[in-house]
């Protein structure tokens, strides 16, 4: 049955990937692969894969393994390992991939070869189901053994390594079914047999997302060690072996809470609906919920991860000045093994009128490799402004409410003890803003009522958007220029950008506002996701380059070989922004070498729910970790002159019906949780592009969202990069200006470029909607179109 299903799936997959590039998001598989030689990247991928592995359990120091310890490795995943997730975010042509079994061999492991040979022939005879777009397999069928075979394996070795693997992908969510969230019957049977026969069982979780751990907990007393390795890219077999043998002692920490079961997650009742999801948990996402209301529902807390040694925090000095809190401390390796620690500081704000989570991450760092007895000193500086919360009821401001602010320093959210506090007398408004992107519909959101869950109606939008937009439509002060010039002249300060824009015809302005219609555009490097900017010959003649956009973020998706780096969640688990910057610096260099100008990534959406199909591309349930990791990635990519495009702005937290789904949430949750990572990233690293999301946010599609793009991203955060859509967009009329639709509606919102540039139908002509209302009442204005071009050209100029 499995074989038939596999055949059908693979045939459908072949048909779909053979469709023209602008109607399907074809896989780049099967491309010609030239020589690859990037030892620096290989070493970085190996290190990041290892440092992103999180050791959840290590009973009786079961790990590290000894070289002469004979190990029986179970699961076909030892060969058919999950290196990355599915879809645009993982579809890279890696030069090679090191499987677990190869990684173990490279580490000199003493392997039960008879068992390994059985798996080798099983995998060869039963190649894994590949699936096709949005129908990829999340798990693979396993090989089972008779009691005699198990007994024989156990007679040869005391130690078993069991692997459970899960994948996930774009355009599909994981589900509450066996083989997705839950274990398959075969996996359970295997686990049951292994734990019955072997004295020491090491469980490796090779998963894109968090999966159900309650079933695994049933074998808990018989499992000695659990290592969550996520999907670690092309070097992940080596990386896992490095951790198992102590070549790289484990130092990853959980970027998400692992709860006792799915129902315990605060978003579990409001996820997966087709039309809309109310974010009823409000700001209480992940550990913010668990630590405040349900600590008993946590199996492994946020920030948790073991090493092979122990650490102590000592010499703590806490100081508060007018604008910041400073915590100075030493981290000492008090054990007998080398290791790295992740000091984390959480704060607890006074409850005030608004209610707060009992813990929020406000600072983290990672030590260097410390040998036993060695220590490292840190001075954490935490700006007071970063402790403020957003009042979406009346003030529409960030505010530090009166009362005591407590700080906790430690190695995970749960165990971190108090390290200092200060008191503010009287509320302080940190930044006076105004209401933006608030809910259009009424729904209940969670508030903290003295440590108890309470629901209240989330404040609705009171904004007259039509009025607000009309008041701030751009009016050009520049007289029409006659001067002939090119973009090079602007770059060389021989002409102003305004002068240059005046030389562009309407057709040219229209062409600038969209890409070259299709994926894999002939204007760009083969396998590109789209080409934009110089999409007409006349534009290129004026010095505007045709820029190649490629997918990411787990590597460059082209028809050539590129490094497959660990997925976002694995990178976040390193809690090491220097390492993330280093790895993306190498990606940026590779982009230059391969012909990619801008890469899609990093992915900055929040892990709201463990079933989201794209969680692997994103970093964490926490906005600070997301923002800092994102900023590091952007700095790395852009350090060599390549471009980054963080995505998906905003609230792309589920894949089911993603182009229609409405994420309904309070303005407070939007700002404190879902936009915060973007805000940190934008302010700290200035990416050249940002990609909007497919979904709606409080009733408005990301690519039409004036309040998010024009008001917040540009207005409040002061960012002047170029905004692009996700691939294709929904057709719609502006509710504020009903004659305006599609491209004009989008450009008025401040979303500069439609990608890849046309409709999915494959017609390569402008759809006419940008200019149809030009000069008419409420219609798009020439100044708006020119203003749009300004952002695009400023961006394009960085590449000449
Ligand atoms: C979409 C995806 C984007 C983007 C694009 C181009 O499906 O959401 O992140 O990269 O495809 O392939």
pLDDT tens-digit map of 525-566: 999 999 999 999 999 999 999 999 999 999 999 999 999 999
By mean pLDDT, which of 45-49, 215-219, 616-620 is the weakest?
A: 215-219
Give the closest residue to 405 by CA, choosing from 427, 432, 429, 378.
Answer: 427
Predicted local distance difference test score (pLDDT) of residue 36: 77
DSSP string, 91-149: ----S----HHHHHHHTT-EE-HHHHHHHHHHHHHSPPP--BTTB--SS-------HHH
Residue 22 predicted with pLDDT over 50: no
Predicted local distance difference test score (pLDDT) of residue 482: 63
d(CA 68, CA 54): 24
d(CA 282, CA 267): 9
Residue 440 predicted with pLDDT over 90: yes
Output the CA angle 368-372-373, nearest 5 degrees: 95
Predicted local distance difference test score (pLDDT) of residue 25: 59
Q: Within its chain, how far is the Cα of 51 from the centroid?
A: 18
Length of the chain: 800
DSSP state of 430: E
Q: How far is CA 233 from CA 566, 675, 742, in A?
A: 4, 28, 39
Residue 201 predicted with pLDDT over 90: yes
Q: Catalytic site residue 726?
A: yes
The share of the chain scoring above pLDDT 90, in percent, equals: 93
By mean pLDDT, which of 12-26, 239-253, 624-638, 661-675 is the weakest?
A: 12-26
Hey, is 593 helix, strand or coil?
A: helix
Please, are residues 267 and 274 in contact by the beta-carbon 8 Å criterion?
no
Average pLDDT on 56-63 reads 98
pLDDT tens sequence across 252-282: 999 999 999 999 999 999 999 999 999 999 9
Give, using CA atoms, the residue closest to atom 3 of ligand 1: 726
Predicted local distance difference test score (pLDDT) of residue 187: 98
d(CA 6, CA 126): 10
Q: What b/e sequence results for 464-499 when a residue is b if at least 16 CB atoms lie within 10 Å of its CB, and e otherwise?
A: ebeebbeeeeeeeeeeeeeeebbbebbbeeebebeb
pLDDT-derived band at 761 (thresholds 50, 70, 90) equals confident
Residue 16 predicted with pLDDT over 90: no
Give the closest residue to 305 by CA, choosing from 207, 406, 225.
Answer: 225
Counting atoms of ligand 1 from 1, which one is nearest the CA of 647? 9
Counting atoms of ligand 1 from 1, which one is nearest the CA of 25? 12
pLDDT tens sequence across 142-181: 999 999 999 999 999 999 999 999 999 999 999 999 999 9
Annotated catalytic residue within 22, 726, 742, 767: 726
pLDDT-derived band at 1 (thresholds 50, 70, 90) equals very low
d(CA 309, CA 326): 28
Distance from Cα 695 to the centre of ligand 1, integer Å: 13
Q: Within its chain, how far is the Cα of 8 from the centroid?
A: 32
d(CA 122, CA 701): 47
Mutating to test ligand 1, I would choose from 85, 548, 727 the residue with most ligand atoms within 8 A of its C-beta, which is 727
Give, using CA atoms, the residue closest to atom 8 of ligand 1: 726
Residue 429 predicted with pLDDT over 50: yes
Average pLDDT on 170-199 reads 98
DSSP state of 184: P
Distance from Cα 89 to the centre of ligand 1, integer Å: 7
Predicted local distance difference test score (pLDDT) of residue 9: 60
Enumerate residues lining ligand 1, CB below 6 A.
25, 88, 170, 529, 551, 600, 647, 726-727
Which pair of tokens denotes residue 431?
């930044």
Residue 349 predicted with pLDDT over 60: yes
Residue 26 predicted with pLDDT over 60: no
Predicted local distance difference test score (pLDDT) of residue 5: 61
Taking the alpha carbons at both ends of the chain, their separation in whole angstroms is 56
The share of the chain scoring above pLDDT 70, in percent, equals: 95
Output the CA angle 347-348-350, nearest 5 degrees: 140
pLDDT-derived band at 24 (thresholds 50, 70, 90) equals very low
Residues 6+ positions from 554 with CB-CB distance below 8 Å: 84, 85, 89, 90, 92, 233, 564, 565, 566, 567, 568, 601, 617
**pTM above threshold 0.95:** yes
Predicted local distance difference test score (pLDDT) of residue 23: 42
Residues 6+ positions from 202 with CB-CB distance below 8 Å: 62, 63, 65, 159, 160, 161, 162, 223, 224, 225, 226, 227, 244
pLDDT, the chain, mean:
95
Predicted local distance difference test score (pLDDT) of residue 483: 78
Residues 6+ positions from 186 with CB-CB distance below 8 Å: 141, 142, 144
């Amino acid at each position: 049955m499995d074989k038939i299903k596999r055949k059908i799936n693979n045939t459908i997959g072949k048909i779909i990937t053979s469709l023209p590039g602008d109607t399907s998001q074809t896989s780049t598989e099967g491309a010609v692969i030239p020589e690859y030689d990037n030892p620096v990247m290989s070493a970085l991928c190996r290190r990041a894969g290892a440092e992103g592995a999180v050791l959840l359990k290590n009973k009786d120091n079961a790990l590290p393994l000894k070289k002469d310890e004979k190990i029986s490795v179970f699961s076909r995943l030892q060969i058919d390992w999950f290196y990355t997730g599915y879809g645009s975010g993982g579809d890279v042509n890696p030069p090679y991939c090191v499987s677990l079994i190869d990684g173990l061999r490279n580490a000199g492991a003493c392997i039960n070869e008879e068992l390994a040979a059985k798996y080798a022939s099983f995998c060869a005879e039963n190649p894994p189901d590949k699936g096709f777009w949005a129908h990829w397999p999340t798990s693979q069928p396993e090989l089972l053994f008779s009691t005699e075979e198990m007994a024989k394996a156990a007679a040869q070795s005391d130690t078993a390594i069991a692997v459970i693997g899960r994948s996930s992908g774009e355009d599909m969510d994981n589900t509450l079914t066996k083989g997705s969230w839950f274990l398959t019957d075969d996996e359970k049977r295997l686990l049951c047999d292994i734990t019955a026969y072997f004295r020491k069982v090491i469980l490796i979780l090779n998963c894109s997302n968090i999966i159900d751990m309650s079933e695994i907990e049933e074998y808990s007393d018989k499992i000695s060690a659990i290592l969550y390795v996520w999907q670690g890219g092309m070097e992940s077999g080596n990386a896992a072996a490095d951790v198992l043998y102590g070549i790289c002692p484990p130092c990853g920490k959980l970027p998400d809470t692992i709860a006792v079961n799915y129902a315990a997650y605060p978003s579990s009742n409001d996820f997966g609906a087709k039309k809309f999801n109310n974010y009823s948990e409000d700001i209480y996402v992940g550990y913010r919920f668990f630590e405040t209301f349900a600590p008993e529902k946590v199996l492994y807390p946020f920030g948790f991860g073991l090493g092979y040694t122990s650490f102590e925090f000592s010499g703590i000095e806490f100081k508060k000045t007018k604008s910041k809190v400073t915590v100075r401390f030493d981290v000492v390796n008090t054990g007998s093994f080398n290791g790295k620690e992740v000091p984390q500081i959480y704060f607890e704000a006074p409850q005030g009128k608004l209610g707060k989570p009992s813990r929020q991450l406000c600072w983290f760092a990672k030590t260097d490799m410390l040998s036993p007895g060695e220590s490292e000193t840190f001075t954490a500086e935490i700006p007071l402004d970063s402790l403020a919360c957003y009042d979406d009821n009346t003030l529409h401001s960030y505010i530090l409410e009166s009362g005591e602010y407590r700080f906790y320093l430690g190695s995970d959210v749960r165990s971190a003890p108090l390290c200092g506090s200060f008191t503010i007398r009287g509320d302080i408004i940190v930044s006076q803003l105004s209401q933006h992107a608030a809910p259009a519909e009424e729904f209940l959101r969670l508030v903290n009522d003295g440590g108890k869950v309470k629901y209240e109606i989330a404040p609705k939008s009171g904004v007259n958007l039509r009025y607000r937009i009309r008041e701030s439509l751009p009016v050009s002060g520049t007289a029409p220029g006659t001067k002939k010039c090119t973009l090079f002249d602007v770059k060389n300060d021989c002409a102003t950008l305004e002068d240059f824009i005046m030389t562009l015809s309407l057709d040219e302005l229209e062409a600038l506002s969209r890409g070259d219609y299709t994926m894999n555009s002939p204007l760009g490097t083969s396998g590109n996701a789209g080409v934009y900017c110089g999409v007409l010959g006349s534009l290129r003649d004026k010095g505007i380059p045709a820029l190649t956009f490629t997918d990411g973020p787990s590597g460059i998706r082209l028809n050539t070989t590129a490094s497959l780096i660990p997925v976002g969640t694995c990178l976040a688990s390193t809690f090491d922004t220097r390492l993330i910057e280093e790895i993306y610096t190498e990606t940026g260099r590779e982009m230059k070498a391969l012909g990619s100008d801008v890469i899609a990534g990093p992915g900055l959406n929040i892990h709201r729910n463990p079933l989201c199909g794209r969680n692997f591309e994103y970093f964490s349930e926490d906005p600070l970790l997301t923002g800092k990791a994102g900023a590091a990635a952007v700095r790395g990519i852009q350090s060599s002159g390549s471009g980054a495009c963080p995505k998906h702005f905003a609230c792309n937290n589920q894949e089911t019906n993603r182009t229609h789904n409405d994420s309904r949430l309070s303005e407070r949750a939007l700002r404190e949780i879902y936009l915060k990572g973007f805000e940190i990233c934008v302010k700290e690293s200035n990416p050249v592009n940002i990609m909007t999301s497919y979904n709606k946010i409080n009733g408005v599609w990301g690519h039409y969202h004036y309040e998010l793009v024009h008001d917040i991203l540009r207005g409040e955060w002061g960012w002047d990069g170029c905004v692009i859509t996700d691939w294709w967009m929904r057709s719609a009329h502006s509710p504020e200006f009903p004659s305006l639709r599609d491209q004009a509606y989008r450009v008025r919102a401040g979303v500069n470029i439609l990608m890849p540039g046309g409709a999915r139908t494959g017609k390569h002509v402008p759809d006419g909607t940008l200019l149809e209302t030009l000069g008419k009442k409420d219609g798009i204005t020439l100044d708006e179109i020119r203003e749009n071009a300004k952002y695009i050209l400023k961006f394009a100029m960085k590449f000449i």
